[in-house]
Amino acid sequence: MTRGGAVTAPEPTRLLGIHGANNLREMGGYAVRGGRLRWKRLLRSGDTGALDPDAIAALRAYGLTHAIDLRSPVSRPRKTDPLARVWGVSWRNVPIAEQMEGYAKGAPEYDEYGPFAGGYLVLLRNLRGVRAVFRHVARAARADGCVLFHCTGGMDRTGAIAMLLMGLAEAPRESMMLDFGYSFANADTVERLVREGATNEADEALFELMESIWTVRDALTKRHGSVRGYLEACGVPARDLDAILRWMVA
């Protein structure tokens, strides 16, 4: 595009328009402490099983270098995720919910924080899984690459990891609710709810769901002092967290 004789780069976009991955979108541009999340660093999505060679080529051209599949081994991720077989993409399977079934029944988090936030807090008891995810993100950071992390729907497991990344960068409530909410409703609805709150009964359930991700962040902060404190408790080295912050925040 040309303005006054000068060539300007196209504006970055939240939705990449790459078909074959459910709920695929950018995390760049959200406000965080000291700046914004960089574009072409963090991608989140649901199932990537329908990515064809053209879509994979588009992701590689976009800058994709690392991928994390958060699904359980019962889904046979290595066979069903095309990104596991792409030259130049470092792929890792981290079944983040593998311990959830054993913890969920009677978990006190549900009584204290409700079904949405409580479920994510149970999920985040998997300290080893979270550590593995962040070690791989740190590899992407040191390579100055771009990482895509995904589960099946791109909502819960993916949403929890997105919250931790945004929490590490000290994103405000509005940024977290936007990123989380886009998985469940159209952009206009999500942005109106973040601006105005629930103004009618029909909005209340969606607003409660969107707000639950901030409740999870608050619960981790209450227990560990900050999201960074939680990640350190997971065993993620400080040098990895520092590398991720330098890479993802501008």
Q: H-type helices in 124-199, by residue range? A: 127-142, 156-168, 173-181, 187-196
Average pLDDT over residues 109-119: 87
Q: At what angle do helices 108-123 and 156-168 cross, to 10 degrees?
A: 80
Domains of the chain, residue spans: 21-245
Whether the predicted pLDDT of 67 surpasses 80: yes
The reported pLDDT for the residue numbered 100 is: 61
Q: Which pLDDT value is given to residue 1?
A: 35
DSSP assignment, residue 36? E
Average the pLDDT over 74-86 and give the result: 88
pLDDT score at 187: 93
Whether the pLDDT of residue 57 is over 90: the answer is yes
> Do the beta carbons of residue 66 and residue 83 sit within 8 Å?
no
Token readout for 189 is 């609805």
CA distance 110 to 119: 7
Model confidence, pTM: 0.93
Determine the average pLDDT of the residues in 149-159.
95
Residues linked to residue 148 through DSSP beta bridges, in sequence order: 43, 67
Nearest to 162 by CA among 140, 185, 143, 180: 180
3-state secondary structure at position 212: helix
The predicted pLDDT at position 76 comes to: 80
For 203, the token pair is 């909005």
Reported in sequence order, the residue ranges of 42-159 that DSSP labels E, i.e. its strands, are: 42-45, 64-69, 90-93, 146-150
Tokens of residue 51, six digits:
């990515």
Confidence of residue 48 (pLDDT cuts 50, 70, 90): very high
* Whole-number CA gyration radius for the chain: 18
The DSSP symbol for 124 reads T
Q: What is the pLDDT of residues 172-216, one digit of tens each?
A: 999 999 999 999 999 999 999 999 999 888 899 999 999 999 999
Instruction: Grade residue 104 by pLDDT with cuts at 50, 70 and 90.
Output: low
Tokens of 19: 């078909």
- Please tell me the predicted confidence (pLDDT) of residue 7: 47
Mean pLDDT of 153-163: 96
Mean per-residue pLDDT of the chain: 91
pLDDT band at 103 (very low <50, low <70, confident <90, very high): low
Looking at residue 111, its pLDDT comes to 81
**Phi/psi at 123 (5° precision):** -55, -40
Rounded mean pLDDT, 78-84: 91
Q: What angle do CA 194, 231, 168 make, to 5 degrees?
A: 40
Do residues 123 and 156 touch, judged by C-beta distance below 8 A? yes
CATH class of 21-245: alpha beta
